[in-house]
């Protein structure tokens, strides 16, 4: 068995798709012979690449790049979602794809709850009210409340369950939508996002991105959520129809939204930025020093395990048959 972390063992060539946190870059450089996509490596260099450290910052990763890397065996993604990777093209080429599932669940769940409270209790607006000196002249308007609400979680995976555990402390009713009803889960299940929205007045969206979930939150779902409804999205911007969401916020179809993700990041429509019933964050769900370091460690661990044993711990379902 080889150990790519030992300096006396040949180090596999790995392509880094976009700059990662310094601690992760250093770990990759210690373990592998590193090539950087932004340095425009030539075809001779890419032909030697056996692994790739990927992230959403690298943009779409698919067949055109795979053609230039005939030796590519594994892609380790920095994050849980991997809709940045053409998974069908990877599987067709026999390329195993891994992610960092489980590492960031608690951090994203923390942020989702924080974003929910910030949106309902208008915390950013209250901060601006004090900073701008208005408190000496008037009282801050009363806000909506979390009390008495029914919260629907769209996607009850690891992050969704972590959110549900936190919501339990707030004594609110919880329901969920997923592709199938989960055994051993006590929350009510609804077969569609529309049905869940009809039964709830808060939706927290934590499904993966990609074609299957594109515009899952559409005008009909938002209308069903209602004029007192709140949408929290910490998944992918493509999951919500952004034009429909803007219209719903402008017209009062829903009360408010808290968004950590957008359709064309980092570009956020001016129409959203102009609204005072939306809280906007720059896609920071997992964005703590501790969690990003743990994600990097998991990504490097996936690459190392592949080259050592062909059995990395976090292979995504679509390529699981290729590992081992």
Exposure of 286 in the CB half-sphere (CA atoms within 13 A): 21
For residue 57, the model assigns a pLDDT of 87
How far apart (Å, rounded) are the C-alpha atoms in residues 73 and 320?
A: 13
Residues of the chain with CATH 3.40.50.720: 13-101+289-322, 105-280
**Token code pair at residue 189:** 């299940």
Contact criterion met (CB below 8 Å) for 226 and 250: no
For residue 2, the model assigns a pLDDT of 44
pLDDT above 70 for 38: yes
Q: Is the dihedral of CA 147, 152, 154, 155 positive or negative?
A: positive
Q: What class is the 105-280 domain?
A: alpha beta
Dump pLDDT digits (tens) for 198-212. 999 999 999 999 899
236 given a catalytic annotation: yes
How far apart (Å, rounded) are the C-alpha atoms in residues 94 and 117?
A: 44
Q: If DSSP codes are grouped into helix, strand and coil, which group holds residue 217?
A: strand
* CA 281 vs CA 119, 124, 164: distances in Å: 11, 11, 21
Q: If DSSP codes are grouped into helix, strand and coil, which group holds residue 29?
A: helix
**Token code pair at residue 290:** 């501790």
Contact criterion met (CB below 8 Å) for 248 and 222: yes
270 given a catalytic annotation: no
265 given a catalytic annotation: yes
Can you point out the beta strands (E) in 228-317?
230-233, 256-259, 278-280
For residue 4, the model assigns a pLDDT of 45
DSSP 8-state code for residue 285: T
Higher-confidence residue of 261 and 2: namely 261
Dump pLDDT digits (tens) for 135-174. 999 999 999 999 999 999 999 999 999 999 999 999 999 9
The one catalytic residue in 67, 265, 310, 321 is 265
Domain covering 13-101+289-322 in this structure, CATH number:
3.40.50.720
Number of other CB atoms surrounding residue 37 within 10 Å: 20
Q: Is the dihedral of CA 54, 57, 62, 64 positive or negative?
A: negative
Q: How confident is the model at residue 59 (pLDDT cuts 50, 70, 90)?
A: confident
How far apart (Å, rounded) are the C-alpha atoms in residues 205 and 293?
A: 25
Q: How confident is the model at residue 58 (pLDDT cuts 50, 70, 90)?
A: confident
Dump pLDDT digits (tens) for 293-304. 999 999 999 999
For residue 1, the model assigns a pLDDT of 39
Greatest C-alpha distance within the chain: 72
Dump pLDDT digits (tens) for 105-146. 999 999 999 999 999 999 999 999 999 999 999 999 999 999
Arithmetic mean of pLDDT, 248-254: 98
Place of tokens 């425009």: 40
For residue 255, the model assigns a pLDDT of 98
pLDDT above 70 for 176: yes
The one catalytic residue in 35, 122, 149, 236 is 236
CA dihedral 115, 206, 157, 177 (to 10 degrees): 110
Place of tokens 């869940």: 196
């Amino acid at each position: 068995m080889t150990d790519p972390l030992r300096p006396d063992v040949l180090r596999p060539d790995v392509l880094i798709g976009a700059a990662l946190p310094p601690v992760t870059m250093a770990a990759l450089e210690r373990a592998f012979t590193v090539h950087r996509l932004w340095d425009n490596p030539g075809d001779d260099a890419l032909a030697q690449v056996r692994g790739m450290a990927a992230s959403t910052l690298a943009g779409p990763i698919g067949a055109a790049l795979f053609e230039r890397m005939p030796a590519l065996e594994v892609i380790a993604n920095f994050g849980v979602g991997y809709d940045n990777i053409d998974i069908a093209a990877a599987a067709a080429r026999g390329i195993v794809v891994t992610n960092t599932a489980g590492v960031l669940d608690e951090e994203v769940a923390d942020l989702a709850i924080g974003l929910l409270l910030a949106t309902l209790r208008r915390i950013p607006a209250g901060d601006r009210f004090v900073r701008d000196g208005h408190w000496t002249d008037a009282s801050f308007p009363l806000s909506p409340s979390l009390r008495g609400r029914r919260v629907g979680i769209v996607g009850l995976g690891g992050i969704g369950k972590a959110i549900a555990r936190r919501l339990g402390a707030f004594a609110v009713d919880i329901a969920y939508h997923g592709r199938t009803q989960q055994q051993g889960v006590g929350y009510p299940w609804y077969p569609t996002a529309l049905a869940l929205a009809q039964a709830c007045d808060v939706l927290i969206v934590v499904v993966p991105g990609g074609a299957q979930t594109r515009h899952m939150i559409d005008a009909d779902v938002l209308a069903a959520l209602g004029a007192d409804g709140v949408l929290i999205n910490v998944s992918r911007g493509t999951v919500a129809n952004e034009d429909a969401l803007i219209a719903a916020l402008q017209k009062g179809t829903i009360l408010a939204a808290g968004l950590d993700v957008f359709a064309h990041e980092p570009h956020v429509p001016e129409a959203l930025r102009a609204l005072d019933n939306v809280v906007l964050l720059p896609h920071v769900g997992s964005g703590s020093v501790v969690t990003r370091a743990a994600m990097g460690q998991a990504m490097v661990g996936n690459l190392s395990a592949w080259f050592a044993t062909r059995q990395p711990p976090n292979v995504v379902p679509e390529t699981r048959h290729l590992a081992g």
